[in-house]
Amino acid sequence: MSTLEHIDCPICEQDETKLLFTKDSLSIQICQKCRLRYVNPRIDHQSLEEGYVETYYPEEKVERIHTDSMEWLQMSERLSELEKLHGSKGRLLDVGCGIGTFLHLASEQGWETQGIDPSKSGCAFAQNVHNLDVHCGDVFDANYPTAHFNAITLYHVLEHISELNPFLNELRRILKPKTNNKNAGTLVIEVPNGEGMQSRLHKENWHYVHPKDHLYYFSVRSLSRLLHKHGFHEIKVGKPKRVSPTTNGLFPLRKVSTALLVRFNLGTVIRLYAS
């Protein structure tokens, strides 16, 4: 049976919050200093990890994701923007790689790929079906070499991480730093936008609000502040694009409206590139 744990704001490391709303008997608070929205108190770390390891990718979910054309289009869109902004290829680590769709596409495009995920079934699929180099566990267990990766990607992962500060310190350690003759490695983070239009309109009914495992609801400002705290000083805001397997009459309008919202940091998701 899971228990609840109380935390301080991971950015300010203080406890000065105001209640926004409750859902599923859990409270989403907002930090009065940095404006980070987060669940407090929250389900304890051990209970969360057990869920990711054993039950996060049941067989029917794996099959649905693997055969979903939207999933492949979304991963292709992510890879396309990464290659446009990062430039040269190299060693890529996908943290929270799931069943390996993004890594499979990156590998086909010439990246030297590795992945990591706590899910046993997700990792097994990535290894057996896509023949990927995937570690089942967390980033600390893997003990990657210092300054090893040219790019580290986290797509809808950071909102699940209990201990943000040690986690980001470890990513900073294993990402290549900027040197005199080489570019710095790139950290890519995509998360739900806690200050987006959908979040503002729907509040606790926003489809990304499930506080049992989504622990934080970042904005561009709060996420940038967290990254600065860990030595990431060059930060670019990405432009996630709406994708669709069909191009019906409404799609161009939706694509334009999505681009406008993203331009003003009001889109459904945030994507940041940091080095």
Angle between helices 101-108 and 69-86 (to 10 degrees): 50
Task: Give pLDDT, residue 181.
Answer: 59
User: What sign does the CA torsion over 124, 125, 131, 133 have?
Assistant: negative
Four-CA torsion 196, 220, 156, 89, nearest 10 degrees: 130
State the CB neighbour count (10 A cutoff) for residue 269. Answer: 16
Per-residue confidence band for 95, with pLDDT thresholds at 50, 70 and 90: very high
CA triplet 178, 134, 66: central angle to 5 degrees? 110
Question: Which of 205, 216, 269 is CA-nearest to residue 24?
Answer: 205
- Between strands 26-31 and 17-23, the pairing is antiparallel
- Contact (Cβ atoms closer than 8 angstroms) between residue 233 and residue 82: no
Q: What is the mean pLDDT of residues 188-211?
A: 97
- Domain 4-274 is found in CATH 3.40.50.150: yes
Q: What is the mean pLDDT of residues 113-135?
A: 96
Give the rounded percent of residues in the chain with a pLDDT score beyond 90: 81
Q: Buried (b) or exposed (e) across 147-170, using 16+ Cβ within 10 A?
A: ebbbbbbbbebbbbbbebeebbeb
Distance separating alpha carbons of residues 65 and 125, to the nearest angstrom:
11
pLDDT digits (tens, 9 = 90+) for 160-193: 999 999 999 999 999 999 776 578 899 999 999 9
Question: Which of 56, 66, 134 is CA-nearest to residue 97?
Answer: 134
Task: Give pLDDT, residue 244.
Answer: 82
Task: Give pLDDT, residue 55.
Answer: 84
Q: CA–CA distance from 225 to each of 4, 159, 209 (Å)?
A: 27, 15, 22
1, pLDDT greater than 60: no
pLDDT digits (tens, 9 = 90+) for 39-94: 999 999 888 888 888 889 898 998 999 999 999 999 999 999 999 998 789 999 99
215, pLDDT greater than 90: yes
Q: What is the mean pLDDT of residues 16-31?
A: 97
Distance separating alpha carbons of residues 264 and 153, to the nearest angstrom:
23
Per-residue confidence band for 109, with pLDDT thresholds at 50, 70 and 90: very high
- Contact (Cβ atoms closer than 8 angstroms) between residue 16 and residue 34: no
- Contact (Cβ atoms closer than 8 angstroms) between residue 195 and residue 262: no
Q: CA–CA distance from 70 to each of 66, 165, 211, 254 (Å)?
A: 10, 33, 25, 15
pLDDT digits (tens, 9 = 90+) for 232-271: 999 999 999 988 877 665 667 778 889 999 999 999 999 9
Domain map of the chain by residue range?
4-274
- Contact (Cβ atoms closer than 8 angstroms) between residue 11 and residue 229: yes
Distance separating alpha carbons of residues 11 and 33, to the nearest angstrom:
9
Task: Give pLDDT, residue 248.
Answer: 64
Task: Give pLDDT, residue 22.
Answer: 97
Across the chain, what does the average pLDDT equal? 93
